[in-house]
């Protein structure tokens, strides 16, 4: 309900901003302040060296989810939030790894000449049975498979559908070969598909198809794997509004603290964490009328597991009070952005549409830095689960990303202080537009931000 009121006000603002009357109104607001004066309450306090030091500490070692490296980062982030006096929660959640004890595929008693891979979620089981080729596994390609192992080509329909089709015709195992020469790591089954499912290369698969044209083949699938539970964490810190000026609204500001395995993740995403911590510091010294929740997620690199867990943990009431989510992921890459304006900074939304977050970001870029910040369409980070809850959300990132993305060379020496400063300013000023106490729910149009035009860009990101 709060959110609706804000969009309505923004819509009015957009109409007004197309004429010059609105712009003039903003610049000579009756209280005598220009927008810049308000921005400066935040901008003057941002210290990029703090951000750089955070990245230096975090990038000393990889922070893969579920490892000691993640725990070290989580403790550091928690202690920083706590030192600012913020109510800070560590939210643990489970993640799952697979330990492969052995996966063996035998053809007429002989091991195949490769290391076959289990489908993710496959049961551990050993079966020996005649092998039957069923093409790509469409129902019309499949006869009775009772007691047989199905040999299937990858492609066309989903892994789960293929396994299901084979299962429904009585198959006791699935052996799937790739539809390209790109190795044999693929495949998944879903709960209840309790037959061993194994992936092999295209070369081995095609040989078997040939062999089956002339002779009968007996195959053995022997899968012995274990699911190992580990723990990953989100760190959530709440900055409360001044008690007598509380709008009841919430803004969330996020990044992810995990890195890829073996990667120091200086830019991905120690940079985002550094901005979250610095904005928490700056805004904790500034009066506000809106709760600001600063958060760093674990397991983003496993598919936004931490942010999805956090999103699912929110009550309906909290969801309705969250006005906006700002996600910062890869915001300090010296070598990112190529020759694009604004160092390549872009705001990505899941649906490729503008929203409150991109409107505020574009306005802040124009107002405080004379930069035009475009928007585009992309997921691939923690703004996704917020969008799915109906919360206006965007990812701030320099694109295209640098050549060191997800490499051991994503190190501190490739970080640009100027880029860190830029994004901290733009996101800080945008958050402050919502949270500053003289704009209850952005209702007071005379001090609302000046809305600007900014383009959609279909820019390749990597
Ligand atoms: N920081 C990246 C997101 C990213 C990378 C966006 C390159 C745009 C261009 C993020 O940490 C990441 O790598 N995400 C994964 C998501 C996947 C695990 C669902 C990705 O994009 O591969
Ligand atoms: Zn990232």
pLDDT tens for 9-56 read 443 333 333 333 333 333 434 444 456 888 999 999 999 999 999 999
Q: Which atom of ligand 1 is nearest to the CA of 302?
A: 18
- Residue with CA nearest ligand 1 atom 19: 303
Which ligand gives the minimal distance to the CA of 405? Answer: 1
Q: Please identify, by atom number, the ligand 1 atom nearest to the C-alpha of residue 461.
A: 9
Ligand showing the shortest atom-to-Cα distance for residue 301: 1
Over residues 271-289, mean pLDDT: 98
pTM (global) more than 0.75: yes
Cα 381 to middle of ligand 1, angstroms: 6
Question: How much is the pLDDT for 38?
Answer: 87
- pLDDT above 70 covers a percentage of the chain that reads 90
Higher pLDDT: 416 or 12? It is 416
Q: Is the minimum distance from the CB of 305 to ligand 1 under 6 angstroms?
A: no
Mean pLDDT, residues 390-413 taken together: 98
Ligand nearest to the CA of 378: 1
At 450 the pLDDT is 63
Q: Is the beta carbon of 346 within 6 A of some atom in ligand 1?
A: no
Condensed to tens digits (0 to 9), the pLDDT of residues 115-166 reads 999 999 999 999 999 999 999 999 999 999 999 999 999 999 999 999 999 9
Ligand 1 within 6 A of CB of 330: yes
CA of 301 from ligand 1 middle (Å) equals: 7
With 90 as the cut, is the pLDDT of residue 406 above it? yes
Sign of CA dihedral 307, 385, 441, 457: positive
* Cα 259 to Cα 238: distance, rounded to the nearest angstrom: 24
Nearest CA to ligand 1 atom 4: 380
| Ligand sitting nearest the alpha carbon of 270 | 2
Distance 331 CA to ligand 2 centre (A): 10
Nearest to 423 by CA among 373, 379, 460, 378: 373
**Range in 20-34, 75-89, 245-259 with the lowest mean pLDDT:** 20-34
Q: How far is the CA of 330 from the centre of ligand 1 (A)?
A: 9
Ligand 1 and 268: CB distance under 6 A: yes
Look at ligand 1, atom 9, and give the residue with the nearest C-alpha: 461
**In this structure, which residue's CA is closest to atom 14 in ligand 1?**
380
Q: How far is the CA of 448 from the centre of ligand 1 (A)?
A: 34
Ligand 1 centroid – CA 380 distance (Å): 5
31 CA → ligand 1 middle, Å: 44
For ligand 1, atom 13, the nearest C-alpha belongs to 301
Q: Give CA–CA dist 233/74, Å, rounded.
A: 7
Residue 406 Cα to ligand 1 middle (Å): 9
Which of 254, 263, 381 gets mutated to test ligand 1 (max ligand atoms within 8 A of its CB)? Answer: 381
| Tens digit of each residue's pLDDT (9 = 90 or more) over 318-330 | 999 999 999 999 9
Q: Is 382 in the pocket of ligand 1 (CB under 6 A)?
A: no
Cβ(459) to ligand 1 under 6 A? no
Q: Is the CB of 453 within 6 Å of ligand 1? A: no
- Tokens standing for residue 189: 């089954």
Tokens 């429904």 sit on residue: 168
Q: How far is the CA of 273 from the centre of ligand 2 (A)?
A: 10
In angstroms, rounded to a whole number, what is the distance separating the alpha carbons of residues 75 and 133? 53
Top-confidence residue, 197 or 3? 197
CA of 260 to the centre of ligand 2 (A): 9
- Indicate which residue's Cα is closest to atom 21 of ligand 1: 380
Backbone angles phi, psi at 246, to 5 degrees: -95, 115
In terms of residues, how long is the chain? Answer: 462
User: Taking residues 89-117, what's their average pLDDT?
Assistant: 97
Determine if ligand 1 sits within 6 Å of the CB of residue 407: no
> Is pLDDT at 383 greater than 80 in this prediction?
yes
For ligand 1, the distance from its centroid to the CA atom of residue 203, given in whole angstroms, is 31
């Amino acid at each position: 309900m709060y959110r609706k009121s804000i969009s309505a006000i923004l819509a009015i603002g957009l109409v007004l901003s197309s004429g010059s009357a609105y712009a003039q109104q903003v610049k000579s607001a009756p209280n005598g302040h220009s927008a810049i004066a308000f921005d400066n309450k935040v901008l003057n306090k941002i210290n990029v060296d703090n951000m750089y030091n955070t990245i230096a500490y975090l990038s000393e070692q990889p922070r893969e989810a579920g490892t000691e490296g993640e725990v070290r980062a989580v403790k550091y982030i928690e202690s920083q939030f706590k030192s600012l006096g913020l109510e800070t929660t560590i939210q643990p959640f489970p993640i799952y790894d697979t330990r492969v004890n052995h996966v063996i595929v035998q053809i007429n008693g002989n091991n195949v000449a490769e290391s076959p891979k289990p489908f993710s979620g496959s049961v551990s089981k050993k079966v020996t049975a005649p092998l039957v080729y069923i093409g790509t596994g469409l129902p019309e390609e499949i006869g009775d498979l009772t007691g047989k192992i199905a040999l299937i080509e990858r492609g066309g329909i989903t892994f789960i559908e293929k396994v299901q089709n084979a299962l429904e015709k009585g198959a006791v195992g699935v052996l799937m070969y790739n539809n390209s020469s790109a190795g044999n790591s693929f495949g998944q089954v879903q709960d209840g598909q309790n037959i061993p499912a194994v992936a092999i290369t295209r070369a081995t698969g095609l040989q078997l198809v040939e062999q089956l044209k002339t002779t009968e083949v007996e195959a053995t699938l022997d899968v012995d794997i274990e699911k190992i539970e580990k723990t990953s964490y989100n760190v959530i810190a709440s900055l409360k509004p001044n008690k007598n000026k509380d709008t009841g609204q919430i803004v969330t500001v996020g990044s992810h603290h995990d890195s890829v395995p073996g990667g120091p993740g200086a830019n991905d995403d120690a940079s985002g964490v550094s901005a979250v911590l610095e904005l928490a510091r700056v805004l904790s010294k500034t009066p506000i009328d809106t709760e600001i929740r600063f958060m760093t997620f674990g397991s983003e690199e496993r598919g936004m597991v931490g942010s999805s867990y956090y999103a699912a943990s929110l009550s309906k009431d909290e969801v309705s009070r969250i006005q906006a989510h700002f996600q910062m992921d890869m915001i300090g890459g010296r070598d990112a952005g190529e020759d694009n304006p604004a160092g390549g900074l872009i705001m990505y939304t899941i649906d490729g549409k503008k929203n409150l977050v991109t409107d505020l970001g574009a306005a802040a870029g124009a107002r405080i830095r004379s930069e035009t910040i475009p928007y585009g369409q992309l997921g691939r980070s923690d703004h996704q689960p917020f969008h799915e809850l109906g919360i206006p959300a965007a990812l701030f990132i320099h694109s295209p990303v640098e050549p060191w993305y997800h490499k051991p060379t994503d190190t501190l020496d490739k970080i640009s202080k100027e880029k860190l400063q830029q994004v901290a300013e733009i996101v800080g000023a945008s958050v402050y537009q919502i949270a500053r106490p003289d704009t209850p729910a952005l209702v007071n149009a005379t001090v609302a931000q000046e809305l600007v035009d900014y383009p959609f860009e279909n820019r390749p990101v990597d």
